[in-house]
Amino acid sequence: MMQHLIVFPVVLPLIAGILLLYQRQGLVRYKRIVSVAATALMLLVAIGLLRQAASGEITYYALGDWQAPFGIVLVLDRLSALMLLLTAVLAVGAVVFACAGDDEKGSNFHGLFQWQLLGINGAFLTGDLFNLFVFFEVLLLASYALLLHGGGKARIQASVHYVVLNLAGSSLFLIAVGILYGATGTLNMADMAIRVADLPAERDGLVTAGALMLLVVFGLKAAILPLYFWLPKAYASAPAPVAALFAIMTKVGIYAILRVYSLIFGDSAGGLEALEQPWVWWLSLGTLAAAGVGVMAARDLRLLVAYLVLVSVGTLLAGIGMRSPQAVSALLYYLIHTTLITGGLFLLAEMIGLQRGKAGTRLVKGRPMVQGAALAMLFFVGAIAVAGVPPFSGAFGKALMLNAAEGDQRLWLWPLLLLASLASLIALSRAGSTLFWRSHRGTISGSPLPYRQWFGVIWLLSAAPLLVALAGPVSSYTQATAEQLANPQVLIRTLLPNAAGDAQ
């Protein structure tokens, strides 16, 4: 039983999604129960996997018992386990929030939601480059349909851009995978790491081209500087629970960069070592600057949160660009914080919009809110956390990132990161005072919000104090994860006991 636990995060949402296909309309109650139960079960499985991976042992699951490098393997190490748990926690908040009524604005919400989870979990687990492409496509297809959930002009417009860009990205992904297969003769990432280590010199150029093309694809998913223009519109127009789940989607891109380049182009790759580093580093700084400007310019709360996602992407990529275990450890801590908090803020923005009636989430004077005080408290917590002001988790994450920078890196990262934080702080305080204080005099109308929405938001935003209270265990786990990533040899030896022996 325990050895099959690794395949559960993929199989469980798949089965739940198929069950949820039964009848397009009706059976609302049962569908909600199945969906929430499957997501809660996923959370338990993810906790189990995290405990298994925390020992530092790398375990894998060979599908159909075809051993690597020929079969497809699902690999569980500390990083995958962490990402799985993060996805599950986020999904529980989003799915409970959706049960308040968002799921009935279109058809098949819960089925698509589960398949999106299937794609995300698969991408975090797989040890095979082509399989990574397949899981990317699964999560993208589900996300296309979820983005359109509920319909409307703005959503369709944003979807056209999002879908066309990602289809072009998929083509590029296939070309990159083809080049890497042609040059190395394998698709298994661990095997590829060995082959790249003793690559004939004439193939260096080919592998470099393939690797950098992969960076473009992952950069598109992660929304790095020249490839982020789809993100603000898509995230701002997506239905709230979908936008909250999308908070993990940019992190899939970041995970892929972290995984592929630390494993295949790590210390043993000779001349190809760290070939992505200068690109990621400078573009991440550019992303930070552009996102800071975007945050200041946003005139809608949801757009503002979308740009805050971009700020976090810039920060995380800068951590990858620094390429040291300290930086990776800091970025993983920051990643947990930012995913949960921005997800929670998307949900909160929807609740604020619902209470303001016609004004919606636009940052203009509106009518006073029925539950304004409680919403304002939550907004205050979320804003403090995401802007990186003590006492909440954002301050810890940013301090760790700043501390991880060394030498020249400080010269660039410190001013940019601090200025982007300042921009977020200004924009959020302006947004908060407009939303909660500068309201019209008038009668309070509207109905109180359903308790499921409150649960979703509080579930996600409680990460802010919790990550501070548990900063010790969390950061020691991320530290251990970073060390494991810095030594890909352990993973390679686990997956390919024979081949690694030959290469030594």
Partner 1 sequence: MELLYAMTTGVLTACGLYLTLRGRTFPVVVGLTLLSYAVNLFLFSMGGLTTDGAAIVSEGTGYADPLPQALVLTAIVIGFAMTAFVVILAMRARSEVGNDHVDGKKEDRE
List the structure tokens of 339.
């995913």
By the rule CB under 8 A, 19 interacts with partner 1: no
Handedness of CA 348, 349, 352, 357 (dihedral sign): negative
Residue 103, beta-bridge partner list: none
Pick one of 56, 178, 271, 473: the residue that binds partner 1 (CB under 8 A).
178
Judge whether 496 and 191 are in contact, CB under 8 Å. Answer: yes
- Give the nearest distance from C-beta 148 to partner 1 in angstroms: 8
Span from 8-16, 171-179, 400-408, 451-459 in contact with partner 1 (CB under 8 A): 171-179
The long-range contacts involving 39-42, CB below 8 angstroms and separated by at least 24 positions, are: 39/88, 39/91, 39/92, 39/95, 39/114, 39/117, 40/92, 41/12, 42/8, 42/9, 42/12, 42/13, 42/88, 42/91, 42/117, 42/121
- Give the nearest distance from C-beta 140 to partner 1 in angstroms: 8
Span from 153-161, 246-254, 276-284, 359-367 in contact with partner 1 (CB under 8 A): 153-161
Nearer to partner 1, 4 or 153 (CB): 153
Pick one of 23, 107, 171, 445: the residue that binds partner 1 (CB under 8 A).
171
The size of the interface with partner 1 (CB under 8 A), counted in residues, is 28
Pick one of 89, 95, 98, 163: the residue that binds partner 1 (CB under 8 A).
163
Distance, in Å, from the CA atom of 37 to the CA atom of 143, rounded to the nearest integer, reads 21
Burial of 17 (0-12, 13-18, 19+ CB in 10 A): buried
By the rule CB under 8 A, 107 interacts with partner 1: no
Binding residues for partner 1 restricted to 419-478, rule: CB under 8 A: none
CB neighbourhood size of 64 (10 A): 7
Judge whether 150 and 187 are in contact, CB under 8 Å. Answer: no
Taking CB under 8 A as the rule, which mask of x and - marks residues 357-376 in contact with partner 1? --------------------
Judge whether 311 and 401 are in contact, CB under 8 Å. Answer: no
Pick one of 44, 160, 377, 419: the residue that binds partner 1 (CB under 8 A).
160
Q: What share of the chain is helix, strand, coil (3-state, %, to 5)?
A: 80, 5, 20
- Give the nearest distance from C-beta 164 to partner 1 in angstroms: 6
Binding residues for partner 1 restricted to 125-144, rule: CB under 8 A: 130, 134, 137, 141, 144
Nearer to partner 1, 33 or 168 (CB): 168
Pick one of 164, 297, 377, 470: the residue that binds partner 1 (CB under 8 A).
164
The helices-and-strands tally (H runs, E runs) of the chain is: 22, 2
Distance, in Å, from the CA atom of 220 to the CA atom of 250, rounded to the nearest integer, reads 9
By the rule CB under 8 A, 153 interacts with partner 1: yes
Nearer to partner 1, 73 or 467 (CB): 73
By the rule CB under 8 A, 18 interacts with partner 1: no
List the structure tokens of 175.
């070309």
By the rule CB under 8 A, 63 interacts with partner 1: no
Query: Residues interacting with partner 1, by CB under 8 A?
Result: 130, 134, 137, 141, 144, 148, 151-153, 156-157, 159-161, 163-164, 167-168, 170-171, 174-175, 177-179, 181-182, 187
